[in-house]
Amino acid sequence: MQRLVNAGSLMCIPSTLASILVGYSSLDKTQRNLRDPVRKCYPDLFNYGMVMVFAGSLLFFRYLKFFRQYSYELFNTYGAG
């Protein structure tokens, strides 16, 4: 029996969601700090947020690529028999 599932690719969805969530929350914190002059503004927080959102979107597309390939393998393996 062939092993069809790659465990590393299945763990991509939680890291994708975590990256996007952390990125958006850091961008939100940056926006709130810019509106309030009393709070300290962290200029690097915006850059970190943008990188996390970008990395999360790349991880999501990696998961979609894996899911497409896994579907092809599944249909070819079990559809022929």
The pLDDT of residue 1 is: 43
Q: Give the residue, 25 or 81, on which the prediction is more confident.
A: 25
Q: How far apart are CA 5 and CA 77, in angstroms?
A: 13
- For a pLDDT cut of 90, what percent of the chain falls above it? 6
Least confident of 6-10, 30-34, 63-67: 6-10
User: Would the pLDDT of 15 be above 70?
Assistant: yes
**pTM over 0.75, yes/no:** no
The pLDDT of residue 3 is: 54
15: which residues sit within 8 A by CB, 6+ positions away?
59
